[in-house]
Chains A and B, each alone.
Chain A
């Protein structure tokens, strides 16, 4: 187990710079998820930690010792990918034991280690089978168990469960998290899926365009996103963005609606200026006029997801999503008043990139 540090870490591929001099620390035994869209530099960062990519500039340190010149196989790093190459002719037990046998461990401690990890991964009943008899989900668990059993300094995972269906994903999340609790490896988990990152990690490192946008606990990146990119990338359903203008201490205007401001928001407005981007999560909007902060709109579509509804309302030119309890419906074109919880209204400098991001995907 190790503490991982990156200092002004840069990755260049020819003239293209993929990672722009980032700094971060991962504590010994910490679980960090690197979250971002494709091309944000998350996989390059992980591959530099693993030693699979050269470091163009800057440093990576394990427990304070630079590893730039240390080869991948000498870094004591375990990696798992979506695809696991299990050895077909030998049993699950022998597959898991393999790295320990190669390391010359004695039979009794190998047996203890294999059985302990197999129990945690719910593989005990499968130990005598050969890989050909396993389902893909089981094979993946065996692959994870084999990577875990050798107690690496750091465990790196690259999108290990993104291809699974909802139910299998929940199960694998439970396995991965309880393994981390049990064995306490330093873990770095790369994903484009915000729910996985929030669910698993102690801290989430949100990346875009080769830079760290925010590195904080799941609660913090959700509740106090450092910029509009983080606000837009974290949260399900996605946050609503609305342009605002004419902002001063008396309030601001969103799509023709004049909205009063709380003291903290007035302070934000003084910082950002008269125009900017307002963001509010679908969970913090309500139908009705209960709040002094309101928006007027017209109904578009009601989705009934059984445990809740998602209602889309057109506010001026912006389609806004609202999460409501089941049973509430809005008809197409119906005039609707939306109450905004001012505690949860976020204001950001106008960011053209965030707005265009969706169109360019």
Chain B
């Protein structure tokens, strides 16, 4: 088990990359670090690899500090986002490099290089130098060089982020299968919600150097700790209604800014204002305007996405995304009703979403 304990990381005097971060990476798990650019994902990989040291706090392995252990003694394999390939070596030589350095026999090296090149779909470019490869091919070579040798931990910095959509989708499945086969401990960074959910045994959500929540895909999706996590996990993202709790017949109700009730409030919440009710696009049903109990709104835009459509509905001052069938015939400006599945409402009292709204 790898642990970051109270890790604080500053670059220079002003740039804070990580703030009092605590994180455990369990043996054999595929751990995804997910968050926007600049959240601190690459810094964590560099700390685990030993390429940088925390400003304060400790990096541990199985409880013992490795904070001051040099990179060459950590047996960590890393794939860098900017590839960092040797330009004077062929693809085959780049892939073989870590094995030669470890003294593996040439015959064994050849077998392993061919096998990795096959998995990554690059066997036909083994004789080329990196300068003659496309960006997607270079990225796969960088990934191959990391996974080709046995290591205690694999640190993969957006290793499929530069591939085109088709290849990215295919490589995602390959990588997941490979991880299952290798039973390796992998830390993987991404800015894609789909990639995080598809790959991670557990996912850590980072925001401005803080770990907002760590858990399985299902935990993050069903029980997001705050509005930042809620809005970052899932595509399309969760929509939020600004609500407060008001007394009503049958108990306190959640009421929107323009006075519409969207359901019962959690017990003991009476008198609270400034809450956010999060709702996923799949938890809403479109009904006729004026349907009792439904939220009234007006269609702002309709997006046709091939297999489905997304309508953005303005209700009061809240913009709500609704997932619809591909053949939905809605027009901007049309008045609609939205029925909210009350069992799928997420109530938040935090302000993290407001902070990210400004971004």
A positions within 8 Å CB-CB of B = 37, 135-138, 165-168, 170, 173-174, 177-178, 181, 192-195, 198-200, 217-219, 222-223, 232, 234-238, 281, 283, 300-301, 303-307, 310, 312, 319, 321, 323, 332, 357-361
Contact = CB atoms under 8 A, between A and B. Distances in A.
Given A167-B356, A174-B301, A181-B301, A303 B176 contact: yes
A168 B359 contact: yes
Contact of B307 (A37, A281, A357): A281
B124 interface: yes
Nearest to A302: B176
Contact of B124 (A136, A167, A323, A359): A359
A166 B300 contact: no
Contacts of A219: 304, 306, 326
Contact of B191 (A165, A199, A361): A165
B166 A170 contact: no
A192 to B, nearest CB: 8
Interface string B312-327: 1000000101000010
Contacts of B218: 304, 306
Contacts of A310: 198
Nearest to B191: A165
Contacts of B246: none
A75 B193 CA distance: 41
18 contacts: A166-B236, A170-B236, A177-B303, A178-B300, A178-B301, A192-B164, A194-B165, A222-B304, A234-B306, A236-B306, A238-B166, A300-B173, A303-B176, A304-B218, A305-B197, A305-B217, A321-B169, A359-B122
Given A165-B36, A300-B173, A361 B163 contact: yes
Given A135-B358, A165-B36, A304-B217, 16 more contacts: A165-B37, A166-B192, A166-B193, A174-B300, A178-B332, A192-B164, A219-B304, A235-B306, A238-B169, A301-B176, A303-B197, A306-B217, A306-B234, A358-B167, A358-B170, A359-B124
B121 interface: yes
A199 B305 contact: yes
A239 to B, nearest CB: 9
A222 B36 CA distance: 30
A200 B303 contact: yes
Contacts of B37: 165
Interface string B220-231: 011000000001
B64 to A, nearest CB: 35
A167 B172 CA distance: 21
A173 B280 CA distance: 18
Given A177-B301, A238-B166, A135 B359 contact: yes
Contact of A361 (B134, B197, B300, B304): B134
Nearest to B333: A181
Nearest to B172: A303
Most buried by B among A167, A194, A237, A358: A167
A305 B170 contact: no
A88 B26 CA distance: 48
Contact of A303 (B198, B306, B307, B321): B198
A226 B164 CA distance: 21
A361 B177 contact: no
B152 interface: no
Contacts of B165: 193-194, 236, 238
Contact of A301 (B135, B173, B193): B173
Given A303-B176, A303-B198, A361-B134, A283 B193 contact: no
B310 to A, nearest CB: 7
B31 interface: no
A330 to B, nearest CB: 12
Interface centre among B166, B170, B192, B332 (most CB of A within 10 A): B166
**Most A CB atoms within 10 A — which of B37, B122, B163, B198?**
B198
B306 A218 contact: yes
A360 B134 contact: yes
Contact of A181 (B236, B310, B321, B332): B332
B326 A303 contact: no
The 6 A-B residue pairs with the shortest CB-CB distance, nearest first, are A199-B303, A222-B306, A303-B198, A361-B136, A306-B221, A218-B304
Contacts of B307: 222, 235, 281, 283, 323
Interface string B28-52: 0000000011000000000000000
Contacts of B282: 307
A236 to B, nearest CB: 7
A235 B304 CA distance: 11
Interface centre among B191, B217, B221, B306 (most CB of A within 10 A): B306
B125 to A, nearest CB: 9
A166 B235 contact: yes
A203 to B, nearest CB: 11
B333 to A, nearest CB: 8
B232 interface: yes
Interface in B127-147: 134-137
A138 B50 CA distance: 36
B321 A306 contact: no
A174 B312 contact: yes
Contact of B173 (A177, A319, A360): A319
A216 to B, nearest CB: 12
